[in-house]
Chains A and B, each alone.
Chain A
């Protein structure tokens, strides 16, 4: 600013440059806004070929955010330097914090309020929704099923992951085995649902019909009779769990494997020289050393099983005794249109993860990152 004052000399031209600056400062954001708004209108109303819409959408979405950051920063840097210092952090942090508040922090409060209200979000009903959630037969069934998922699903994921990690650690072809076990992580739950529905598929008894589902074909080959597997409670829950185990064991394995690699080789060698068997090594050294990792992995998978939705939705729709909390949430909100009950269920899900939240916060405070 001083620079420009020195160069221009006269008060008139000083005013002119600053007015010019002011104008530019207004015009640039205004143009940005208009361009982005036009993009939004185009995307909403356009009848162009889909490929063009997709390309415009990507450009508009990605470019728009980048331009918004650049323009708001450009705008702030025009200000006197003390204001730059004061405001620039908010240019950087602001959008992130604003979106977090809109999409996660404030909804916690809003959902809590909704959970005390009636179906359409009007009228205070007290704790009725919670009474429903804890007494209704279907809700109790979802609690039981989620508990099964959290216990058995997690146990098999972590157990298998641990076994595979330990075994693979001793093989020359470790990376191949691990890639294969890990591969399902890239597959969607819906896709995995189709894959396993095919395995469990059932045609029924009758002549001229051969089972095309692998499970029934195996059962028939072993001399049994084919079954409509997914319609038989309570075992269908476990058949659904197999899908999660198939998908998530890779995750457990990768994290456990990296923890095992962190165990000092000398420690294991020393124990071997002392005559420890492989089993003693496993239970005496490996498990105790990586128990922190096992806890983290288990927690992640437990939280995951708590929110499980897609698998049940695609495989059974929650019928035949396979319903879970997240699916009941979806049904309440979108099939029965009861926002109050759905909110109460969401709050129950939130309360279930509060211990983990507190643990994370404590860890964060201890890490002294600030």
Chain B
């Protein structure tokens, strides 16, 4: 009896160990991509061009210990013998491991006649980290950085700081406005009686999964006619329109199940619908409002298509600015990584601070169109 319990426990501990091991491996895989750009964003541009971000961790690498000048008499087009070892130029340039464990690498082209001797050594945390990349990507002025060969390059900055502000100007109202409108509508559907109530709510449900592509062409026509293209109002309205079905649906489900007695006793006290709404329903619905607010905020902040179509290059938001950066400077990883991280900063903060509400919102309505 005792023995079997122990083996059962042992088995359980073993399976627990494997469960945790598997999960840790998956979590590491999940974290590495973000870790990669996080580390890269702090490295010098010159280092980024030359070596992978993982080299900031302690590792063994060939480190330069000295130089050898090759005699001008040696023919560099044939096999070259250095310290008794013979290889072609291409092989020397790629690096040759010598019998004593050191490495010889030809530096530059054939004319340099310079060979570096390198020894395999442990390298600790020797990379210099700085905030330069962030400064460069945030400013709209001229920026200077060094490429892989140490050459200084001058470019025009992409002004992510202004894109960040624009994103705030888009995301805050585009979160609050639909919530306000949806909350009023949800109250109306739940607790007021009017002709067409059921039909209109059926429309809300039907529109839940309608892809927003359906609206882009006609709405763009309207905006052109109203001269609204490129304004914040245009994007707020668009995000409100596309977010409303889910917002009304979620908030209706919540407000509809609040106890009816509250409403009745408030009416007896002579309160109007509007006072009941502002003084009772809004505070009571806080959890549902918070859930949807996070949902909508992340959606709007991370949105690219709507901003691209209705804002264009005027009042560029952070996602558009980052996408433009990918297009213009696709190999400048020091700018791309820091830019990507700036774009992730606010949503990640909101997400980790209010994760509980976010999960609740997801569970309540996993059918967003």
Contacts and interface: CB of A to CB of B under 8 A. Distances in A.
Interface of A: 40, 43-44, 50-51, 53-54, 57-58, 61-62, 65-66, 69-70, 73, 77, 86, 88-93, 95-97, 99-100, 102-108, 110-111, 114, 121, 160, 164, 167-168, 170-171, 173, 176-177, 179-191, 193-199, 201, 207-208, 210-214, 217, 246, 251, 254-255, 258, 278, 296-297, 299-300, 303, 306-307, 309-310, 313-314, 326, 329-330, 333-334, 339, 342-343, 345-347, 349-350, 353, 356-357, 360-361, 364, 369-370
Between A188, A196, A213, A309, the greatest number of chain B beta carbons within 10 A of the residue's beta carbon is seen for A188
B180 A66 contact: yes
A340 B230 CA distance: 23
What does DSSP make chain A's interface, helix, strand, loop or mixed?
Answer: helix
Contacts of A369: 201, 252-253, 256
Contact of B33 (A170, A195, A353): A195
Given A97-B185, A103-B241, A190-B319, A114 B218 contact: yes
Contact of A100 (B32, B176, B241, B298): B241
Contact of B301 (A54, A188, A339): A188
Given A58-B172, A212-B52, A108 B214 contact: yes
26 contacts: A89-B193, A96-B244, A97-B203, A99-B181, A108-B210, A108-B214, A121-B221, A180-B27, A181-B26, A181-B27, A188-B304, A195-B33, A198-B333, A198-B336, A207-B90, A303-B209, A303-B369, A307-B211, A307-B213, A310-B305, A345-B213, A356-B209, A357-B210, A360-B205, A361-B205, A364-B202
A39 B20 CA distance: 57
B340 A100 contact: no
A212 B51 contact: yes
Indicate the size class of the contact surface on chain B: 35 or more
What does DSSP make chain B's interface, helix, strand, loop or mixed?
Answer: helix
A218 B201 CA distance: 54
Nearest to B28: A180
B337 to A, nearest CB: 7
B138 to A, nearest CB: 13
A181 B193 CA distance: 45
Given A54-B169, A187-B348, A194-B339, A93 B185 contact: yes
B215 interface: yes
A179 B352 CA distance: 8
A346 B216 contact: yes
Contact of B182 (A89, A96, A296): A96
A73 B93 CA distance: 80
